């Protein structure tokens, strides 16, 4: 992997070349500090998430590759899907909950999954060109990516694994800061099941790239990098919540600290499913 340094594409987008053909495309000036990931193979490229759509992301992608690009969403939340309609080749994971959103050949994300009303946004209906099942291997030419189910933050959430280079694009499943386990559609039991399944798939030296970052101490930004210990802390924290092995004064905390970099937000409904 290359040293973590970024360059600014303009006054909005930042580019972090993480490894050959692997780019983090960040939006440090957006309040959620989103990071999207472009993987470029010898024949094709994959853009995993498209940002909130405050700015058009396509010029950034075009500056990094002239290969055909498929845009794949990790899940439907508004801060990950804003530019999806700008891509001709679109892909979603083939799940019943997503297939049910197709009407007349166009995909319509309901607001309970899109959550755009939080920021006054509306979904742009569009056709989905490719439906890929869980476990599908995406062959980009010299680079193979595998789709893994990682529900918890939302029921349709997926991550993408590059087994050869031991890199996981984790989207909103694991990132720096507060993980959202308290929003509509979130499930702490699903989070735990998915985290334990991931632990059997990942090598000890895995690089986990999350979808939201935090400024470095000097105020600069790089793509958020996590590792297997962070996944272990997530599993331990979820087990503690399930088994009520928390301090008596914090039996149902709104924010459960997993380590010094990651916390889990929860609420009454989050805990209630285990009660």
In a domain, 1, yes or no: no
Closest C-alpha to 12, from 47, 59, 44, 81 = 59
Least confident interval from 22-31, 65-74, 153-162, 236-245: 236-245
Query: pLDDT, tens digit, for every residue of 207-254?
Result: 999 999 999 999 899 999 999 999 999 999 999 989 887 665 556 678
In a domain, 149, yes or no: yes
Task: Give the mean pLDDT of 54-83.
Answer: 98
Dihedral angle computed from the Cα positions of residues 217, 226, 74 and 76, in that order, rounded to the nearest 10 degrees? -40
Contacts of 63 (CB under 8 A, 6+ apart): 9
The rounded distance, in Å, linking the Cα atoms of 22 and 132 is 21
Output the pTM of the full model.
Answer: 0.95
The rounded distance, in Å, linking the Cα atoms of 136 and 92 is 11
CB contact at 8 A, 222 and 213: yes
Residue 48 confidence class, pLDDT cut points 50, 70, 90: very high
In a domain, 151, yes or no: yes
Residue 93 bridge partners (DSSP):
132
* Phi, psi (degrees; rounded to nearest 5) at 219: 90, -5
Domain count, the chain: 1
For the cut 80, the answer to whether the pLDDT of residue 5 exceeds it is: no
In a domain, 31, yes or no: yes
CB contact at 8 A, 74 and 174: no
The rounded distance, in Å, linking the Cα atoms of 132 and 114 is 20
In a domain, 224, yes or no: yes
Mean pLDDT score of the chain, rounded to an integer?
94
Higher-pLDDT residue of 271 and 153 is 153
Closest C-alpha to 46, from 153, 127, 149, 162 = 162
270 token code pair? 């989050």
Helix (H) / strand (E) element for 233: namely helix 228-242
Closest C-alpha to 226, from 168, 161, 153, 155 = 168
What CATH number does the domain containing 183 carry? 3.60.15.10
The rounded distance, in Å, linking the Cα atoms of 232 and 246 is 17
Sheet-wide strand order for 130-132: 6-8, 14-19, 22-27, 34-40, 45-48, 69-72, 90-93, 130-132
**Is the torsion defined by CA of 163, 43, 27, 75 positive or negative?**
negative
For the cut 60, the answer to whether the pLDDT of residue 63 exceeds it is: yes
Half-sphere exposure of 78 (CA within 13 A, CB side): 17
Q: What is the pLDDT of residue 25?
A: 98
Query: pLDDT, tens digit, for every residue of 106-122?
Result: 999 999 999 999 999 99
| β pairing state of 144-149 and 137-139 | antiparallel
Helix (H) / strand (E) element for 40: namely strand 34-40
In a domain, 184, yes or no: yes
For the cut 60, the answer to whether the pLDDT of residue 175 exceeds it is: yes
In a domain, 188, yes or no: yes
In a domain, 159, yes or no: yes
Tell me the residue range of the domain where 64 lies: 6-272
Residue 267 confidence class, pLDDT cut points 50, 70, 90: confident
């Amino acid at each position: 992997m290359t040293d973590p340094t970024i360059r600014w594409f303009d006054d909005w987008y930042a580019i972090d070349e993480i490894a050959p053909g692997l780019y983090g495309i960040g939006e440090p000036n957006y309040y959620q500090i989103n990071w999207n990931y472009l993987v470029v193979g010898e024949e094709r490229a994959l853009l995993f998430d498209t940002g909130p759509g405050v700015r058009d992301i396509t010029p950034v992608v075009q500056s990094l590759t002239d290969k055909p690009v498929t845009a794949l969403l990790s899940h439907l939340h508004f801060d990950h899907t804003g530019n999806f309609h700008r891509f001709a080749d679109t892909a979603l994971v083939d799940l019943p909950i997503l297939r049910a959103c197709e009407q007349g050949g166009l995909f319509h994300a309901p607001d309970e999954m899109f959550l755009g009303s939080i920021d006054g946004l509306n979904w742009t209906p569009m056709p989905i060109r490719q439906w890929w099942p869980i476990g599908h291997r995406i062959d980009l030419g010299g680079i193979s990516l595998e789709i893994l189910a990682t529900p918890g933050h939302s029921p349709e959430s997926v991550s993408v694994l590059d087994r050869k280079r031991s890199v996981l694009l984790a989207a909103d499943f694991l990132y720096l800061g507060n993980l959202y386990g308290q929003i509509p559609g979130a499930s702490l039991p699903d989070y735990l099941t998915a985290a334990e399944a991931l632990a059997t798939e990942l090598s000890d030296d895995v690089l986990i790239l999350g979808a939201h970052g935090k400024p470095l101490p000097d105020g600069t930004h790089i793509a958020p990098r996590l590792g297997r210990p962070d996944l272990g802390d997530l599993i331990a924290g979820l087990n503690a919540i399930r088994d009520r092995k928390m301090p008596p004064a914090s039996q149902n905390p709104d924010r459960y600290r997993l380590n010094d970099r990651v916390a889990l937000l929860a609420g009454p409904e989050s805990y209630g499913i285990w009660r």
